[in-house]
């Protein structure tokens, strides 16, 4: 039941993160220090792994400073067990680091966009805080430029007064994630041709709404030169599927996609070999175009010499060339052949594991409207630019991004897990635990800035977890720019904002009184 789900499942890891930043007068970041205290709840299955991402996926967003440090502690508490949730610790770490970066930019009197442009990681940079990997595919700079133009940053930053109590502010945040767990995740893919000419693709990755069945079928169709409808996908079934670590860690398209590519290449070689046998020619001199295995005259060792001067060819040689050029066998005939008088099978089962985890990047910008009397926040416009390598299915990538942003907005403004003093959860239904509806999240616009990741399928990286990471720090910065209230605790409720505005007014009054006293003394 919903009640059981709310009180007896697991929640995201509650974290308290302390960030120290140092920069020179020109705005170049010189030092980053991150300490995370993570609450794993009553059990610790994900305790030591989730906390690592709070630093490893936030610090590397910036050029390697002269000094950086990441340390953490994980504690057991009498609370609901913490588990895996989209973002897996990176969401919390990015909220803290990006908020601190925006605060540092304000201290320096710099536009937060220009501050990030000065310090962000760029393609070709080595990332010591990210396992020493190199950002071989990184369009983060182009993502920043894209969203800045989409939202009209220069005309809206930092704030605009709308009416007596309504003010609008803009904010931004950057994010990175990973593509699988390097050296750990393994994916297998089985592909075989049936006697009717269709292909069966059998995978161990579970499609839990990500659309991986469609995406991986697209990869197979592209490799085999056939139509998407020619690929019949059989999803995860542990009785018959090849081994796959699982649909987690943003691994499916990146890792399983390469396994599918390997499978298709191996299958093409088998198809070409059988087709060559049927045509009674050398298998090294045939090719496959998705419909036919045909004799490729250009593969002939004497092909260049034979075509160099058509006029010098004898009539016999010309006839032989014409006969060879016409030799071909259809994929349907090859598929039928495997059922009779054939001692082999057209099926392969390769595996894939990557020694690296190339990070995708994202930049989000948001415009909010804050009622300074009540503290209420309305998200008016959220724009995002994503570098997930080369998107294989842009439509699926877009809805992944929109869904992740919606979840991030909920985390930023509404979702609040509350406990009693004895650790009993208070939120046992959606009456107590609020999530946003479509009407609450405003306008969401998504763009893609493609890079090319050479280790991924057709240049692709991951996208699944990255897209939840930017809303919390971006909305926090927009609220600050609109009201002067800098919030560092989630969710950012109207009460916290209203109390922050009141506190700022009281401090301003006290400062005015102090200035008046100082001025009076000077006059005397």
Per-residue pLDDT reduced to its tens digit, 307-327: 444 455 555 555 555 555 578
pLDDT at 343 exceeding the cut of 80: no
**3-class SS string, 156-207:** HCCEEECCCCEEEEEEEEEEECCCCCCCCCCEEEEEEECCCCCEEEEECCCC
Residue 419, burial from CB neighbour count under 10 angstroms (0-12, 13-18, 19+): middle
pLDDT band of residue 158 (cuts 50, 70, 90) is very high
Q: Which two tokens stand for residue 258?
A: 């390469």
Q: In the prediction, which pLDDT does 121 show?
A: 97
For 243-260, the pLDDT digits (tens) are 988 888 899 999 999 999
Percent of the chain at pLDDT > 70 equals 93
Q: Which two tokens stand for residue 412?
A: 């930023």
Q: What is the mean pLDDT of residues 172-178?
A: 97
Query: Alpha helices, DSSP H only, in 188-337?
Result: 212-224, 257-279, 303-308, 315-325, 331-337
For 213-247, the pLDDT digits (tens) are 999 999 999 999 999 999 999 988 888 899 988 88
Q: In the prediction, which pLDDT does 102 show?
A: 98
Give the relative orientation of helices 47-56 and 90-108 as an angle to the nearest 10 degrees. Answer: 30
How far apart are the C-alpha atoms of 301 and 92, rounded to whole Å? 61
Give me the residue label for tokens 């009622």.
371
Residue of 240, 168, 242 lying closest to 205 (CA atoms): 242
pTM attached to this predicted model: 0.91
pLDDT at 306 exceeding the cut of 70: no
Q: In the prediction, which pLDDT does 222 show?
A: 96
Q: What are phi and psi of 478, to 5 degrees?
A: -65, -40
For 40-65, the pLDDT digits (tens) are 999 988 999 999 999 999 999 998 77
Compute the residue count for the chain: 524
3-state DSSP percent of the chain in helix, strand and coil, to 5: 40, 25, 35
């Amino acid at each position: 039941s919903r009640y059981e789900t709310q009180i007896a499942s697991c929640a995201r890891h509650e974290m308290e993160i302390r960030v120290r930043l140092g920069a020179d007068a020109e705005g170049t970041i010189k030092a980053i220090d991150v300490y995370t205290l993570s609450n794993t709840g009553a059990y610790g299955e994900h305790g030591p792994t989730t906390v690592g991402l709070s630093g490893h996926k936030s610090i590397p967003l910036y050029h390697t400073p002269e000094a950086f440090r990441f340390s953490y502690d994980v504690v057991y508490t009498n609370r609901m067990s913490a588990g895996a949730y989209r973002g897996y610790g990176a969401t919390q770490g990015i909220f803290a680091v990006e908020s601190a970066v925006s605060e540092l930019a304000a201290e320096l009197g710099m536009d937060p966009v220009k501050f990030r442009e000065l310090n962000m990681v760029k393609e070709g940079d080595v990332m010591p805080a990210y396992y020493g990997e190199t950002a071989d595919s990184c369009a983060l700079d182009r993502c920043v430029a894209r969203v800045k133009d989409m939202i009209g940053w220069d005309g809206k930053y930092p704030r605009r007064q709308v009416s007596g109590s309504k003010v609008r502010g803009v904010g931004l945040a950057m994010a990175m994630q990973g593509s699988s767990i390097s050296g750990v995740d393994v994916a297998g893919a089985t592909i075989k041709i049936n006697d009717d000419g269709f292909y069966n693709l059998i995978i161990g990755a579970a499609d839990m709404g990500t659309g991986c069945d469609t995406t991986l079928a697209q990869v197979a169709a592209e490799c085999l030169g056939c139509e998407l409808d020619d690929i019949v996908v059989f999803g995860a079934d542990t009785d018959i599927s090849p081994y796959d670590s699982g649909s987690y860690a943003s691994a499916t398209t990146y890792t399983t996609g390469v396994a599918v590519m390997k499978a298709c290449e191996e299958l093409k070689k088998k198809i070409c070999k059988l087709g060559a046998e049927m045509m009674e020619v050398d298998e090294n001199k045939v090719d496959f175009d998705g419909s036919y295995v045909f004799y490729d005259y250009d593969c002939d060792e004497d092909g260049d010499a034979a075509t160099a001067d058509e006029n010098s060819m004898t009539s016999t040689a010309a006839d032989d060339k014409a006969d060879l050029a016409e030799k071909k066998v259809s994929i349907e005939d090859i598929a039928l052949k495997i059922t009779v008088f054939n001692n082999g099978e057209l099926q392969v089962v390769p595996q894939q594991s990557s020694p690296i985890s190339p990070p995708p990047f994202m930049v989000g910008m948001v415009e909010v409207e804050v009622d300074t009397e009540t503290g209420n926040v309305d998200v008016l416009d959220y724009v995002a630019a994503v570098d997930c390598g080369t998107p294989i299915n842009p439509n699926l990538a877009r809805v992944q991004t929109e869904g992740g942003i919606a979840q991030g907005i909920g985390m930023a403004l509404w979702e609040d897990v509350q406990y009693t003093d004895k650790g009993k959860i208070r939120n046992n239904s959606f009456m107590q635990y609020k999530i946003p509806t479509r009407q609450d999240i405003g306008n969401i616009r998504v763009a893609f800035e493609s890079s090319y990741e050479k280790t991924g399928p057709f240049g692709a990286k991951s996208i699944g977890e990255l897209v939840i990471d930017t809303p919390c720090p971006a909305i926090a910065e927009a609220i600050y720019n609109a009201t002067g209230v800098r919030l560092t605790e989630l969710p950012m409720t109207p009460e916290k904002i209203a109390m922050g505005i009141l506190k700022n007014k009281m401090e301003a009054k006290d400062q005015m009184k102090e200035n008046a006293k100082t001025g009076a003394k000077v006059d005397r």
